[in-house]
Structure 1
Amino acid sequence: ANEEAATLIPLSGNPGESRRSMISATFNFINSIVGSGIVGLPYALNQAGLPFGLLLLIAVGFITDYSIILLIKGGELSGTNSYQSLVQSTFGLPGFLILSALQFLYPFIAMISYNITTGDTLTKVFQRIPGVGPGHPLADRHFVIILTTILFTLPLSLYRNIARLGKVSFFSMVLTLIILIVAIVRAATLGPEILPTEDAWTFARLNSIQAVGVMSFAFICHHNSFLIYGSLEKPTLAKWAQVTHVSVGSALFISAVFAVAGYTTFTGFTQGDIFENYCRDDNLATFGRFCFALSIITTFPLECFVTTNVICNQELSRYKHLALTTLIVTVCTSLSLTFDCLGVVLELNGVLSATPLIFIIPSACFLKLSPGSWLQGEKLLSIILIVIGLFVMIIGLTMTGLFPQDCSHGVEMFYCPNANVTGTAPPV
C-alpha cells in the first residue's frame, strides 16, 4: 500500500549530513517498495512452486535493483531529473505517451485491487461483530466496497495537495510489519494443522510467468527513484547504488519471509489474497485483516492522485479536480465490483504495466543514451532485460487469459472450524 506513499524526511542541508541523508533515503525507498503487493507473494509461490518461486523472487529483486540504477544513469546521461522527462528526452513524444499510459494504468489497476482487498478483508472483520453474519449488509463485499468508497476513499482522494496525505507512509510501514508478524506466527501455529497438498513442494509449475507479474507488481518503485535520489546530500551514482542495494535487499528479505510464511502455511490452497485463507474466527488474522484494510484505504487516495496527475499534468480548479477525481473513483469502484479474485488483477497489473516499467523502459533508455557497442557490458545486459520483459508480458498475458485462476472468495476453507456452516472451499 506504500507504492506512492514515500515521504521524504527533511534534511538540514549541512555538509556533515551525508550519512543521515543516505539513511533517510534508504528508509523512504524501503517504504516505497514494501506495500500492498506483499499479500500476493504467497500466491506467487503457489503459482511458480516454492523453490523456483523463491529463485524468481530473488531474480526480480536483482533486476529491480539493477534497473533502478540504470534509470538514474539514464537521467545523468540525458540531464533529466524525472522518469517522464528522461523518456521524453530519449524517445520523444511517442515514448512520453507510452510511459504516461503505463503510469496511469499501474495505479488505476492498483486501486481496483485495493477495493477488492478491502471488500474481502473487511467483510470478515465485520463478521466478528455480534449480529453480523451471512446475509447482513456488512458481510456483503459489494456493499462494503461501496460504503468504504463513499465514507473514506473518495473524500480523501478529493484532497488537492498530496503533501497532506504523505504522513501515511510511516503509518503504513508499521501496519505492513504487523501483517508480517501475523503471517509468521500463523505459519508456526496454524501451518502444522493443515496437511500440505500433494504437489506442495514441486520445484516449478506451469504458471511461473504469471508469478513474475505478481512479483513485479510488488517490487515496482521506479516512479519514486528520482525523487529519493534528489534527497541525498550531494547525490552521486556511488551513493545511489549503496542506497539501492540496501533498500531493495531489505525489501527482498521482508517479501521472501512473508511469501514463505504464507505459502508454507497453506501450500496449494494459497489464494491471491492471503487473508482469504485464514479462518473467520481467527482473532489474530482478523487483527491483521483490519490493519491491512486500514493501510490500503489510506493509500488509495495517493494512487488516485497519480492517475489524475497523469491525465491532466497541471493545476486544476476545485470543480474540475472534483469532477475528474469522482469520475476516476467511480469507474474504478464499478470495475472492482465485477472481480472476485485478487490474483488475476495482480497478474494483469504486473504483466501489463509493472513489467515494462521495470524491465523494458529503463534498459531501452540506457541503450539509446549510452555510447559504445550494444553487444558488450551493461548494454548487452540491458538487451537481455528487454527480451525477458517482452517474454514475461506476452506469455504472462496469454497464460492469464487462457488459464484464469479460481478463488474461493468469502467461503470458509475446509480446515476452519465453521467450514460445515458457511460452506467449504474445495481442495486444490
Structure 2
Amino acid sequence: MTQQLNNEEGTTLLTPQKAAGEPRSSKISASFNFINSIIGSGIIGLPYALNQAGLPLGLMLLVAVCFIADYSIILLIKGSNLSGTNSYQSLVQSTFGFPGFVILSGLQFLYPFIAMVSYNITTGDTLTKVFQRIPGVGPDHILAERHFAILLSTIAFTLPLSLYRNIEKLGKVSFISMVLTFAILIIVIIRAATLGPQIPPTENAWSFARWNAIQAVGVMSFAFICHHNSFLIYGSLEQPTLANWSRITHMSVGSALIISAAFAVSGYTTFTGYTQGDVFENYCRNDNLATFGRFCFGFSIITTFPLECFVTREVLSNAIFRRDLSKVEHVAITVVIVGACASISLGFDCLGVVLELNGVLSATPLIFIIPAACFLKLSPGRWFQGENLIPTILIVVGFFVMITGLTMTGLYPQTCSHGMEMFYCADANVSVTAPPV
C-alpha cells in the first residue's frame, strides 16, 4: 500500500504506507542508516583502489563516483515520482516490464548478498588477529581460526540483529557503527604518520595514474552504493519529501566521501604499492593500535551486516511472496540468507577480488545504468538534450566500466596473501607497538 504526500515543491510523491503507530526515522537516524550503509567493508578496500589507479587519479575518480552516486540516488526518487511507484523494483517493472524486474531483482539480491559475504570475510580477517593479542591465544588456538570467528559473530551478533523487522530500530546501532568508524579513521591516520615513514615507498608510488584504474572504479562503486536500500530509508522518514530526501542524500554521501577519502589516502600513503585489498592485513600482528582498529572495524562491520540482510530479505519477499512475510517466514528466510553467506565466506577469503567483482557486476549497473535508464524512459525529450544529457552519459560510462572492469579483473586478479605477515614486520627498524598511554 502507498500513501500520497506533497513535497515542498508541490509535487506528489508516493511512499510506502506504514501501519498506525509504526516508528519512523528522523532525519538524523535516517542519515546514520544511510552513511552506515555506504561505509561498510568497501571502505577497507579504498587504499587498494588508490594503489590500482594512482593517488591523484584515484582521488579524482573517488570524487566522481561520489557525485554520480549522489545524483543517481535522487534520480531514483524522481523516477518513482514520474512512474507513481514506491520501490526500486516497482519502478523498474513499471518502466521496463517483467524482464527489467527480473534483472533488477537479481542485481539487488546479488549486491547485498556478496556484500554480506565480504563482511564475514573481513570479520574473519580482523577478529582472529584481535583474539591473538589475548594472552595465551596463539596461531593454533581456536580463537585464531577464521572459521570459528565467522561462526561466532554470525550466531552471537549478525543473525540476532538481522531478525529485526523495522529498519528504524537499527538507527542506534548505526550510530555506534559511525562512532567506531571515526575511531578507525583516527587510528589509520596516526599509523600513516608513525609507521608510514619507516616503510620504503615502492617504485612509482606517487605516479599520477596507472593502467588498471578501471578496476579501482569497481571497488569505489562497491564502497559508495546504497541505492538498493535507499527506498527503505526514504520510506521510513517522518516526512518523506523530495526536498528532505535531497538534503539527507547530500549530507550522507558527502560525509561518506570525506571519511572515505581520508581513510584511502592515509592507508595508501602508509603502505604505497604494498597495499592489500584489506588494508588491515598490512599492519603487523603485534601492532596494538592496529589491533584496536581491527576490533573497531570488525564490530562496525557486524552492525552493518543487518542493513544488507534487510534489503536481501525485502527483495526475496517482493519477488517470491509479493506480500508481507509472516513471523515464521521472516525468521526462516533470514536464517537461510545469513547461513548461506556464512557458508560461502568460510570457503573464500580473498577480499580484494570480492570487492572488484561485486563492484563491476552489481554496483556499477545499480549506480550508473539502471537509475539513468529509468529516468530517460519516463522523461520526455531527446536523450542528449537538457536534463537527459547527464543520465545518457551515465549509461555509456556505466557499460564501459562494467565490461572493461570485469575483463581486467578476470585477466589480472588480485594476488591474495591472507594471514601472511608482511616483510617489514620483521624489520627491527620498524616499531609497531603502540606508545604507552
Is the 2:32–2:178 Cα contact (8 Å) retained in structure 1? no
Q: CA deviation at 1:320?
A: 3.7
Is the 1:35–1:176 Cα contact (8 Å) retained in structure 2? no
Is the 2:33–2:171 Cα contact (8 Å) retained in structure 1? no
Shift in alpha-carbon separation, 1:316–1:174, aligned structure 2, 3 A: same
Equivalent residue number for residue 104 of structure 1: 109
Please state if 1:235 is matched with 2:222.
no
Q: CA deviation at 1:417?
A: 4.0
Q: CA deviation at 1:28?
A: 5.0
What is the distance in 2 between the residues matched to 1:221 and 1:204?
27
Q: CA deviation at 1:117?
A: 0.5
What is the distance in 2 between the residues matched to 1:348 and 1:248?
22
Worse-matched range after superposition: 147-156 or 117-126: 147-156
Within the candidate set 331, 339, 344, 1:330 is matched to 339
Equivalent residue number for residue 18 of structure 2: none
Q: CA deviation at 1:151?
A: 3.3
Matches within 5 A, 1:199-214: 199-214=204-219
What is the distance in 1 between the residues matched to 2:333 and 2:59?
41
What is the distance in 2 between the residues matched to 1:96 and 1:181?
43
Equivalent residue number for residue 314 of structure 2: 309
What is the distance in 1 between the residues matched to 2:245 and 2:294?
35
Within the candidate set 65, 69, 92, 1:64 is matched to 69
Within the candidate set 85, 93, 96, 1:88 is matched to 93
**What SS class does the counterpart of residue 365 from structure 1 fall into?**
helix
CA RMSD, 1 decimal: 2.3
Matches within 5 A, 1:166-245: 166-229=171-234, 231=237, 233=239, 235-237=241-243, 240-245=245-250
Shift in alpha-carbon separation, 1:31–1:318, aligned structure 2, 3 A: closer
Please state if 1:403 is matched with 2:389.
no
Is the 2:29–2:171 Cα contact (8 Å) retained in structure 1? no
What is the distance in 1 between the residues matched to 2:207 and 2:127?
33
* Unpaired stretches in structure 1, ≥5 consecutive residues: 1-7, 12-20, 420-428
Worse-matched range after superposition: 113-122 or 316-325: 316-325
Equivalent residue number for residue 365 of structure 1: 374
Within the candidate set 153, 178, 203, 2:158 is matched to 153
Aligned residues: 401
Q: CA deviation at 1:298?
A: 2.6
Please state if 1:252 is matched with 2:246.
no
CA deviations over 1:117-140 (Å, ceiling 9, x no partner): 011001110110111112222212
Is the 1:363–1:385 Cα contact (8 Å) retained in structure 2? yes
**What SS class does the counterpart of residue 415 from structure 1 fall into?**
helix
**What SS class does the counterpart of residue 410 from structure 1 fall into?**
coil
Q: CA deviation at 1:413?
A: 0.9
Equivalent residue number for residue 279 of structure 1: 284
Q: CA deviation at 1:234?
A: 7.4
Please state if 1:392 is matched with 2:401.
yes
Q: CA deviation at 1:317?
A: 4.0
Q: CA deviation at 1:203?
A: 1.7
What is the distance in 2 between the residues matched to 1:224 and 1:408?
33
CA deviations over 1:323-346 (Å, ceiling 9, x no partner): 433332232222212222111101
CA deviations over 1:185-222 (Å, ceiling 9, x no partner): 11111111111011211222222111111101111122
Alignment-mate amino acid for residue 64 of structure 1: A
Identity %: 77
Shift in alpha-carbon separation, 1:153–1:27, aligned structure 2, 3 A: closer
Alignment-mate amino acid for residue 407 of structure 1: C
Within the candidate set 25, 32, 41, 1:36 is matched to 41
Alignment-mate amino acid for residue 418 of structure 2: H
Equivalent residue number for residue 16 of structure 1: none
Shift in alpha-carbon separation, 1:61–1:337, aligned structure 2, 3 A: same
CA deviations over 1:140-167 (Å, ceiling 9, x no partner): 2223223332333334434455554443
Is the 2:30–2:171 Cα contact (8 Å) retained in structure 1? no
Is the 1:50–1:201 Cα contact (8 Å) retained in structure 2? yes
Alignment-mate amino acid for residue 360 of structure 2: V
Shift in alpha-carbon separation, 1:324–1:247, aligned structure 2, 3 A: closer
Is the 2:32–2:174 Cα contact (8 Å) retained in structure 1? no
Shift in alpha-carbon separation, 1:180–1:379, aligned structure 2, 3 A: same
Q: CA deviation at 1:87?
A: 1.3
What is the distance in 1 between the residues matched to 2:427 and 2:129?
13
CA deviations over 1:229-262 (Å, ceiling 9, x no partner): 553747245x544443333222212111110000
Worse-matched range after superposition: 330-339 or 222-231: 222-231
